[in-house]
């Protein structure tokens, strides 16, 4: 989960591929609960996630293609995921509907030698490092009316594939599993009539794996298409401050999460860099209210 989720649609919704009308590239690094330590070893074990993606429209295919890579480290568990997919674009009403499907390859690894069970000889806890490759699919629908609004729904790890059984000291059915997660998101753009230099982008995101559900609500205020400031509220978890700047077409975003769970957890830092290289797609002209759309 990224606080700058509006910059990372490609990782959760393949329907977004190619919707930017150009080569859209981005990278994000998130350090959650910065400085969080293991009480036993004293090692810093704060979750760290690195993500990068690129997508572009391909006219002859009637849509766009995309590629994303994510590296996630959580304690003694490590995940490396690669998504590769295609989105078909359909003109629908005032906007465009993207229908995307992506192949997902996830290498999941757990080093059980770093675990500290209450019973060192617990037979249900495997020993050493265990890893497996999981293959699955992501599916997404993304509908947008440029410079007005978007609404989208998607599912990651659609098949919720199970990997090999973990090798323990006794027979066990435990195995690596891809978590099926559902996403619903929407956003709106409003340009102030009194001063067109100001644009506000409210958005919401809800995600659920059935066992738990998370809700995000955010708003970003743009000034002169160059600077923006925003806030995000993650229900029962954090209040987040977001800032950003655009320099020669490169957007740099930063977010700081203030934890509200009352567990004395430290805050989280997130940095994102993105760039969109516009392509001349020879599309039918449309009337825009402003020169920028995100």
Those residues of the chain that have pLDDT short of 70 are 166-174, 280-294
Cα torsion 274, 180, 73, 213: sign: positive
Counting beta carbons within 10 angstroms of the beta carbon of residue 273, is it exposed (0 to 12), middle (13 to 18) or buried (19 or more)?
A: middle
* Count of structural domains within the chain: 1
**Residue 70's beta-bridge partner residues?**
51, 81
Length of the chain: 294
CATH number at residue 266: 2.40.160.60
> In this structure, is residue 28 part of a structural domain?
yes
Cα–Cα distance measured from residue 224 to residue 246, given in angstroms and rounded to the nearest whole number: 10
Cα–Cα distance measured from residue 9 to residue 187, given in angstroms and rounded to the nearest whole number: 12
Contact 70, 11 (CB under 8 A): yes
pLDDT tens digits, one per residue of 218-263: 999 999 989 999 999 999 899 999 999 999 889 999 999 999 987 7
Cα–Cα distance measured from residue 177 to residue 170, given in angstroms and rounded to the nearest whole number: 20
Contact 282, 60 (CB under 8 A): no
Contact 189, 180 (CB under 8 A): no
pTM for the model: 0.86
Over its C-alpha atoms, the chain yields an Rg (Å, rounded) of 21
| pLDDT at res. 291 | 41
**Residue 64's beta-bridge partner residues?**
57, 87
| pLDDT at res. 202 | 95
Cα–Cα distance measured from residue 47 to residue 125, given in angstroms and rounded to the nearest whole number: 22
| pLDDT at res. 167 | 62
Structure tokens given for 180? 């099926």
Range of the domain at 180: 5-278
| pLDDT at res. 64 | 95
Please report, for residues 3, 66, 153, 159, the alpha-carbon distance to residue 13 in angstroms, rounded to integers and kept in the order given.
16, 10, 7, 16
Contacts 24+ apart (CB under 8 A), 108-111: 108/77, 108/78, 108/79, 108/132, 108/133, 108/134, 108/163, 108/176, 109/77, 109/78, 109/79, 110/76, 110/77, 110/78, 110/166, 110/176, 111/76, 111/77, 111/78
> In this structure, is residue 70 part of a structural domain?
yes
Contact 218, 210 (CB under 8 A): no
Structure tokens given for 109? 């690894």
> In this structure, is residue 156 part of a structural domain?
yes
Find all residues with CB under 8 Å of 280, minimum gap 6, and list them: none
Give the residue carrying structure tokens 């890579």: 69
Cα–Cα distance measured from residue 246 to residue 249, given in angstroms and rounded to the nearest whole number: 6
> In this structure, is residue 291 part of a structural domain?
no
Structure tokens given for 174? 């435990």
pLDDT tens digits, one per residue of 79-115: 999 999 999 999 999 999 999 999 999 998 888 887 7
> In this structure, is residue 233 part of a structural domain?
yes
Counting beta carbons within 10 angstroms of the beta carbon of residue 241, is it exposed (0 to 12), middle (13 to 18) or buried (19 or more)?
A: middle
């Amino acid at each position: 989960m990224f606080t700058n989720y509006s910059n990372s649609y490609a990782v959760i919704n393949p329907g977004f591929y190619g919707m930017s009308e150009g080569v859209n590239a981005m990278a994000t690094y998130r350090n959650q609960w910065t400085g969080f330590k293991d009480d036993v070893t004293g090692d810093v074990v704060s979750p760290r996630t690195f993500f990068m993606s690129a997508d572009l429209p391909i006219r002859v295919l009637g849509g766009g293609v995309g590629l994303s890579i994510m590296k996630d480290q959580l304690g003694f568990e490590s995940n490396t995921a690669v998504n590769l997919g295609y989105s078909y674009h359909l003109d629908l009403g005032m906007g465009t509907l993207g229908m995307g499907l992506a192949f997902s390859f996830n290498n999941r690894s757990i080093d059980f030698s770093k675990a500290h069970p209450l019973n060192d000889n617990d037979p249900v806890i495997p020993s050493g490092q265990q890893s497996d490759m999981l293959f699955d699919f992501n599916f997404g629908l993304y509908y947008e009316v440029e410079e007005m609004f978007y609404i989208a729904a998607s599912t990651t790890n659609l098949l919720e594939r199970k990997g090999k059984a973990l090798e323990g000291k006794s027979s066990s059915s435990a195995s690596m599993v891809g978590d099926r997660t559902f996403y619903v998101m929407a956003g709106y753009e409003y340009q102030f009539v009194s001063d067109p230099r100001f644009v506000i982008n409210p958005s919401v995101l809800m995600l659920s794996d059935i066992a738990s559900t998370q809700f995000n609500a955010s708003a970003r205020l743009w000034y002169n298409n160059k600077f923006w400031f925003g806030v995000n509220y993650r229900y029962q978890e954090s209040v987040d401050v977001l800032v950003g700047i655009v320099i020669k077409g490169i957007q740099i975003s930063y977010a700081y999460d203030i934890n509200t769970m009352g567990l004395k957890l430290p805050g989280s830092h997130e940095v994102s860099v993105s760039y969109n290289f516009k392509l001349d797609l020879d599309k039918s002209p449309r009337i825009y209210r402003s020169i920028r759309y995100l």
